[in-house]
Chain A
Amino acid sequence: MTETVDLEVREGVDRETVETVQNMGSYKYGWDTEIEMDYAPKGVNEDIVRLISEKNGEPEWMTEWRLEAFRRWKTMEEPRWAMLNYPVIDYQDQYYYARPKSMEVKPKSLDEVDPKLLATYEKLGIPLKEQMILAGVEGADAAPADGRKVAVDAVFDSVSVGTTFKDELAKAGVIFCSISEAIREHPELVKKYLGSVVPQSDNFFATLNSAVFSDGSFVYVPPGVRCPMELSTYFRINAENTGQFERTLIIADKGSYVSYLEGCTAPQRDTNQLHAAVVEIVVLEDAEVKYSTVQNWFPGDENGKGGIYNFVTKRADCREARAKVMWTQVETGSAITWKYPSCILRGDESQGEFYSIAIANNMQQADTGTKMIHLGKDTRSRIVSKGISAGKAQNTYRGLVTMHPRAKNSRNYTQCDSLLIGSECGAHTVPYIEVKNTSSRVEHEATTSKVDDDQLFYCRSRGMDEEEAVALVVNGFCREVLQALPMEFAMEAQSLVAISLEGSVG
Chain B
Amino acid sequence: MLKIDNLHVKLEDEDKQILKGVTLEVPAGEVHAIMGPNGSGKSTLSYVLSGRDGYEVTDGTASLDGEDLLDMEPEERAAAGLFLAFQYPVEIPGVGNMTFLRTALNAQRKAKGLDEVSAGDFLKLIREKAKDLKIDADMLKRPVNVGFSGGEKKRNEILQMAMLEPRMCIMDETDSGLDVDAMRLVSDGVNALRSEGRSFLVITHYQRLLNHIQPDVVHIMSNGRIVKSGGPELALQVEEEGYGDLVEAG
Q: A-side interface residues toward B, CB under 8 Å?
A: 138-141, 143, 452-455, 457-466, 468, 472-473, 475-480
A139 touches B53 (CB 8 A): no
Residue ID in chain B nearest A142 by CB atoms: B119
Residue ID in chain B nearest A468 by CB atoms: B107
A sample of 29 inter-chain contacts (CB < 8 A) reads: A139-B99, A140-B119, A140-B120, A452-B90, A454-B90, A455-B92, A458-B90, A459-B92, A459-B104, A460-B51, A460-B74, A461-B50, A461-B75, A461-B78, A461-B83, A462-B101, A462-B108, A462-B160, A462-B164, A463-B104, A463-B164, A465-B75, A465-B107, A468-B103, A472-B92, A473-B92, A473-B95, A476-B94, A477-B94
Chain B residue contacts of A476, Cβ below 8 A: 92-95, 143
A458 touches B119 (CB 8 A): no
- Knowing A139-B98, A139-B119, say if A458 contacts B92 (CB, 8 Å): yes
Chain A residue contacts of B100, Cβ below 8 A: 459, 462, 472
Interface size, B (range): 35 or more
Chain A residue contacts of B98, Cβ below 8 A: 139
Chain B residue contacts of A459, Cβ below 8 A: 92, 100, 104
Min C-beta distance of B3 to chain A, whole Å: 20
Cβ of B52 within 8 Å of any chain A Cβ, yes or no, is: yes
Binary CB contact string for chain B from 65 to 93 against chain A (1 if under 8 A, 0 otherwise): 00000000111011100011010011111
Cβ of B125 within 8 Å of any chain A Cβ, yes or no, is: no
Tell me, in angstroms, the Cα distance from A68 to B192 when the chains sit together: 79
Chain A residue contacts of B53, Cβ below 8 A: 453, 457
Cβ of B180 within 8 Å of any chain A Cβ, yes or no, is: no
- Knowing A139-B119, A468-B107, say if A480 contacts B50 (CB, 8 Å): no
- Knowing A453-B53, A472-B103, say if A460 contacts B73 (CB, 8 Å): yes
B74 touches A461 (CB 8 A): yes
B51 touches A461 (CB 8 A): yes
Q: B-side interface residues toward A, CB under 8 Å?
A: 50-53, 73-75, 77-79, 83-84, 86, 89-96, 98-105, 107-108, 111, 119-120, 123, 143, 160, 164
- Knowing A463-B108, A468-B107, A472-B103, say if A457 contacts B52 (CB, 8 Å): yes
- Knowing A458-B86, A464-B103, A468-B107, say if A475 contacts B50 (CB, 8 Å): no
Chain A residue contacts of B75, Cβ below 8 A: 460-461, 463-466
Which one of B102, B104, B143 has the greatest number of beta carbons of chain A within 10 Å? Answer: B104
A480 touches B94 (CB 8 A): yes
Contact count A vs B, C-beta below 8 Å: 92
Tell me, in angstroms, the Cα distance from A138 to B73 when the chains sit together: 27
Tell me, in angstroms, the Cα distance from A465 to B77 when the chains sit together: 11
Residue ID in chain B nearest A386 by CB atoms: B94
Residue ID in chain B nearest A454 by CB atoms: B90
Which one of B93, B98, B120, B123 has the greatest number of beta carbons of chain A within 10 Å? Answer: B93
B123 touches A141 (CB 8 A): yes
Majority-rule SS of A interface residues? helix
With contacts A455-B91, A465-B75, A479-B95 known, what are 13 further pairs, Cβ within 8 A? A139-B123, A140-B123, A459-B100, A460-B73, A461-B50, A462-B100, A463-B75, A463-B79, A463-B107, A464-B75, A464-B104, A465-B107, A472-B103
Tell me, in angstroms, the Cα distance from A310 to B107 when the chains sit together: 36
Chain A residue contacts of B91, Cβ below 8 A: 455
Which one of A452, A457, A461, A477 has the greatest number of beta carbons of chain B within 10 Å? Answer: A461
Tell me, in angstroms, the Cα distance from A455 to B95 when the chains sit together: 11
Chain B residue contacts of A462, Cβ below 8 A: 78, 100-101, 104, 107-108, 160, 164
Residue ID in chain B nearest A476 by CB atoms: B94
Tell me, in angstroms, the Cα distance from A458 to B98 when the chains sit together: 15
A472 touches B95 (CB 8 A): yes
Tell me, in angstroms, the Cα distance from A276 to B101 when the chains sit together: 43
Chain A residue contacts of B143, Cβ below 8 A: 476
Tell me, in angstroms, the Cα distance from A475 to B99 when the chains sit together: 11
Chain A residue contacts of B103, Cβ below 8 A: 464, 468, 472
Chain A residue contacts of B51, Cβ below 8 A: 460-461
Chain B residue contacts of A457, Cβ below 8 A: 52-53, 74, 90
Chain B residue contacts of A452, Cβ below 8 A: 90
Tell me, in angstroms, the Cα distance from A327 to B46 when the chains sit together: 47
Which one of A465, A466, A480 has the greatest number of beta carbons of chain B within 10 Å? Answer: A465
Chain A residue contacts of B89, Cβ below 8 A: 458
Tell me, in angstroms, the Cα distance from A453 to B92 when the chains sit together: 12
B164 touches A461 (CB 8 A): no
A455 touches B90 (CB 8 A): yes
Tell me, in angstroms, the Cα distance from A306 to B231 when the chains sit together: 68
Min C-beta distance of A304 to chain B, whole Å: 30
A138, A139, A464, A473: the one within 8 Å of B107 (CB): A464
Chain A residue contacts of B104, Cβ below 8 A: 459, 462-464
Tell me, in angstroms, the Cα distance from A452 to B94 when the chains sit together: 14
Q: Which 7 A-B pairs have the closest CB atoms?
A: A476-B94, A479-B94, A476-B95, A462-B104, A463-B108, A463-B78, A458-B90
Tell me, in angstroms, the Cα distance from A266 to B20 when the chains sit together: 57
Tell me, in angstroms, the Cα distance from A459 to B78 when the chains sit together: 10
Tell me, in angstroms, the Cα distance from A140 to B120 when the chains sit together: 6
- Knowing A457-B53, A462-B160, A468-B107, say if A475 contacts B73 (CB, 8 Å): no
A461 touches B84 (CB 8 A): yes
